[in-house]
Structure 1
Amino acid sequence: MNTPIFDMHCDLLSYLSNVAGANAFNKDDIGCAIPWLLDGGVRTQVTAIYTDVNEGSMKLASKQADIFVELLKQDSRELALCDSIFLNNWEKEPTLALLASIENAAGLGNENAEWKSVTEQLESILEKVNRLAYISLTHHTENRFGGGNYTKGIGLKKDGQKLLDYLSGRKIPIDLSHTSDLLAEGILTHLEKERLNVPVIASHSNFRVIWDHPRNLTDEFTQEIIHRKGILGVNFLRAFLDTENPERLFDHILHGFEIGAGEQICFGADFFYTKNFGDPSRIPFYFPLAENASKYQSILTTLSQNLNQDQLERLAYKNALHFYQNLWN
């Protein structure tokens, strides 16, 4: 099996911006190194601009946007920009295309930034990267926009509302993968109340009914994404699958099909640089069956026991591809 892949999330840009001597082609450092992506048949990879909540978040986000631009210049034979032209010719394109996203809107505005600076930062990043696959308002902690997935009881804040208002009609999806439940609820409520045109996705989250973790989606939020015709990227991290059972990856994927997400479910593997991570309980971060981007084809082969060819292709690339083709045309 050699099915093309469209993956919704990796942290290659964060690795390149923060690790001394980082190299996008170093397979020993990160599971989404360019050679791993090529080995796995990845045709499009979303690369997140990730920042923590601190005073330097805007500067670091701008740096990662610059790295995204420079990365595309390194080897034009293998790497391309995922724009509307590429998407419309996707199945004929032989190269790997990269697409940027914002993981944590702290990169758009630190806690002290004036609102004008927030919008100027967004426009500056867009000018560099051409398109954004999505914006996550938060990561695991609280920021000026709302509550992250480890901050219970903190929902959508006023600046979060303002950012959603600003995004309406801009064809930039909002991502629920790192929201608190209260923030996810607040986002959906505000979109409905104000009748905003903002697509809703979950770029790299699994299903809480399969593995009870605050990073995973409740079936209620999953159904909202299905109803809104968004997409749902399955995460490969052991902590969000099941810390003991590697086969749980397949349970999450099959659950998505069982609850009606057959036209939404896709991959959001979430490969990142793990060598400086402070929590030893997370090691190993990935099970061997999903430890780097070369594993997509073997994962699809295993799933072929339960899914037909059309379902496998929807998971691998069609759902994500069709979502962005429809959004950006």
Structure 2
Amino acid sequence: MKLPIIDTHCDLLSYLAKVPDARADRTDDIACALPFLKQGNVKMQILAIYTDVYSGSMEMAKLQGQKFKQLLEDFKEDLCLANVEFLQRITEQDRLSVVAAIENAAGLASEKAPIQAAFDNLDALIKETGRIAYISLTHHTENRFGGGNYTEGIGLKADGKKLLDYIDGKKIAIDLSHTSDSLAEGILNHIDKGGLEIPVIASHSNFRGIWEHKRNLSDEFAQEVMMRGGIIGVNFLRAFLDNDEPTRILDHILYAFESGFEDQICFGADFFYTKDFPDKSRHPFYFPIVEDASRYPALLEKLADNLTSGQLQKLAYQNAQSFFLKTWV
């Protein structure tokens, strides 16, 4: 089933920045290599600028911004920058569009940098990449902005509030995919208290109602994303689907439709470079049903027994298309 696909999260840029001799078209290295994206009919791919919490985080984010710009230059026949005009005519497009996002605001300001560095670096990355689709304040661990999804009871910190205030009205979404529950609650409360104009999404998260995991969304926060007009990108990683059941991704998607999130659910596959990952229990990272970005048409075919053609279109591209069109205009 060859519907256009919008995917809200992959880590191609960190692969290009960290791995020697990395190439965006190297299919034996990464599951979101450009040939896989083309085979899967992906028409818009969000490329995360991912960093860990360490002293060189700002330099790594800057390098990934440069890699984004270089990617567009190296593959200019096949790639373009995602924008409103492209999205409006996505079913007619031949090329793949890309847009950058921030995964972990430690890339904007390391722990000891002045908070102004976060603002300056965000502005610089917007200039380098053309647009930032969303920002995750944290990754798995705690940083100066708040608590990551593997922390307990660490919410929104003062610098997190300052960064939220800075992106107010800038057409940049805030991403709940890597927050602790306390941080998610703090983000939502701060937005509401300040009347901030910040869209709320979960770019690559599944549902705790299907698989109990701290990386997955509780129904409460999924409802918050829905009420705020956001989107939820289903994650393809085995650890967040079910350790043993390959078809569990179908259950997560169907759960979204059954639970009232029909206009929120989209794809946020979370493909990244796994060859150097030290925890061997995580291998294989992806079940064969979603092992690389070429698998989208086959996945949609499997879902066709349970979803209407209209629902499949919402999942494949329309929900994300609608979100970004209203956010970017």
Tell me which amino acid in the other structure corresponds to 1:86. F
Show the counterpart of 1:102: 102
Tell me which amino acid in the other structure corresponds to 2:174. I
1:268 matched to 2:282 = no
Deviations 1:185-235 (A, max 9, x none): 100111111111100000000001100000000000000000001000000
Show the counterpart of 2:20: 20
Show the counterpart of 1:91: 91
Instruction: Map residues 63-212 of structure 1 onto 2, 5 A cutoff.
Output: 63-212=63-212
Tell me which amino acid in the other structure corresponds to 1:266. C
8 A Cα contact 1:104 1:138, kept in partner = yes
Partner SS state of residue 100, structure 2 = strand
Q: Distance in 2 between matches of 1:250 and 1:133?
A: 27
> Cα distance, 1:250 vs. partner?
0.4
Partner SS state of residue 153, structure 1 = coil
1:297 matched to 2:297 = yes
Provide the TM-score with structure 2 as the length reference: 0.99
Q: Distance in 2 between matches of 1:31 and 1:132?
A: 23
8 A Cα contact 2:169 2:197, kept in partner = yes
Partner SS state of residue 47, structure 2 = strand
Deviations 1:66-122 (A, max 9, x none): 000000011222111112232233222210011100000000000011122111000
> Cα distance, 1:328 vs. partner?
1.0
Tell me which amino acid in the other structure corresponds to 1:278. P
> Cα distance, 1:164 vs. partner?
0.6
> Cα distance, 1:259 vs. partner?
1.0
8 A Cα contact 2:4 2:90, kept in partner = no
Q: Distance in 2 between matches of 1:89 and 1:236?
A: 27
8 A Cα contact 1:161 1:190, kept in partner = yes
Q: Distance in 1 between matches of 2:198 and 2:229?
A: 11
Show the counterpart of 1:41: 41
Q: Distance in 2 between matches of 1:90 and 1:297?
A: 17
Show the counterpart of 1:2: 2
8 A Cα contact 1:83 1:130, kept in partner = no
Partner SS state of residue 276, structure 1 = coil
Runs of 4+ in 1 over 6 A off after TM superposition: none
Aligned residues between the structures: 329
Show the counterpart of 1:317: 317
8 A Cα contact 1:155 1:184, kept in partner = yes
Deviations 1:146-171 (A, max 9, x none): 00000111100000001111111111
> Cα distance, 1:247 vs. partner?
1.0
Q: Distance in 2 between matches of 1:86 and 1:4?
A: 12
8 A Cα contact 1:165 1:196, kept in partner = yes
8 A Cα contact 1:232 1:266, kept in partner = yes
Tell me which amino acid in the other structure corresponds to 1:322. S
Deviations 1:16-52 (A, max 9, x none): 0000111100000000000000010100000100000
1:231 matched to 2:226 = no
Query: Which consecutive residues of structure 2, in runs of 5 or more, have no partner in the other structure?
Result: none
Partner SS state of residue 80, structure 1 = strand
Q: Distance in 1 between matches of 2:278 and 2:233?
A: 26
Deviations 1:212-271 (A, max 9, x none): 000000000000000001000000000000000011100000000111111110000000
Tell me which amino acid in the other structure corresponds to 1:205. S
Q: Distance in 2 between matches of 1:249 and 1:87?
A: 26
The alignment yields a C-alpha RMSD, in angstroms, of 0.7
Tell me which amino acid in the other structure corresponds to 1:241. L
Query: Which consecutive residues of structure 1, in runs of 5 or more, have no partner in the other structure?
Result: none
Q: Distance in 2 between matches of 1:120 and 1:87?
A: 29
Tell me which amino acid in the other structure corresponds to 1:202. A
Q: Distance in 1 between matches of 2:193 and 2:92?
A: 42
